Amino acid sequence: MSKLVIATRESRLALWQAEHVKALLEQRGHEVSLLGMTTRGDQILDRSLSKVGGKGLFVKELEVALEEGHADIAVHSLKDVPMDVPEGFSLACVMEREDPRDAFVSNRFAGLAELPQGAVVGTSSLRRVVLLRALRPDLKIEPLRGNLDTRLRKLDDGNYDAIVLAAAGLKRLGLGQRIRQLFEPEQMLPAAGQGALGIETRADRLDVAEILASLAHQSTWLAVAAERAVSRAMGGSCSMPLAAFATFSGEHLQLRAAWGDPEGAAVLVRAQLAVAAADLDQAAALGTEVAARLRAAGAH
């Protein structure tokens, strides 16, 4: 048995995720406690992430806790983890994915098609902006920041006709009944890593990596490695209007990606490829090739 400390953000969803990992580790005989922290990403709510430093704002304080030895692991929503993990740290485990799809949430309308012309839709994601614009160029898309509960409250206060959120977070918090429509990937391609949890450690903590090995889900890890490689090759950050989603069919990993210009017309550049992928290097190579195909088709 070992004693482990999990660094986590203090939002309700982040705490659910940390408690989930804590319970799994305790089932395996480890003693686990949580270290709750507030990150810069939680504090800055009046500007879009792409303007204030990107998704790394949600993980930096947790990495400092790892570096200084206050915590052994940090649990993240993988889509919040920058594509290049800083030197000295390691993405030691990717867990089985929850529903990766985007969810349409509204108190008045049953789905995107029911929204009247000019309806106001809230999202904090440039990816969702370009995908929504391709589906419904008539909509008025407004920024929406804050944790999950804050976003739902802003909808309930009447600031938006609808909002788009990750289905995984709603389902994890028992809020699946708020979902009016699930967007299939053919309609709205998910973000790299959406729905998956990643566990970060210091790179030199091989003892912790060994403990986490039993929580890893290999097919999810390969899929998100391909997705994240697309974003990395495109210089990806939250200022990149990019979608990437991979699924297995037998031994073949199929990767689809889409890119749009948030300032331009509602036209998407798409690319896809399927290859046999048995390890992380092969999955990453698939992502790099799909990124090259996006660029060749006009993405930048």
Distance CA 122, CA 204 (A): 41
Helices and strands (DSSP H and E) totals, the chain: 10, 13
Residue type for position 1: M
Start-to-end CA distance of the chain, whole Å, equals: 49
Candidates 42, 46, 72, 80; catalytic one: 80
Distance CA 48, CA 4 (A): 34
Residue type for position 82: P
Distance CA 162, CA 180 (A): 10
With beta carbons less than 8 A apart as the criterion, state whether 179 and 167 touch: yes
Residue type for position 66: L
84: annotated active-site residue? no
Query: CA nearest 236: which of 221, 251, 258, 204?
Result: 258
H runs (alpha helix) in the chain: 12-27, 40-43, 49-52, 60-67, 126-135, 148-156, 167-172, 206-212, 218-233, 280-296
Distance CA 76, CA 62 (A): 10
Query: CA nearest 201: which of 77, 93, 281, 98?
Result: 93
Contacts of 202 (CB under 8 A, 6+ apart): 66, 67, 88, 89, 90, 208
Known catalytic residues? 80
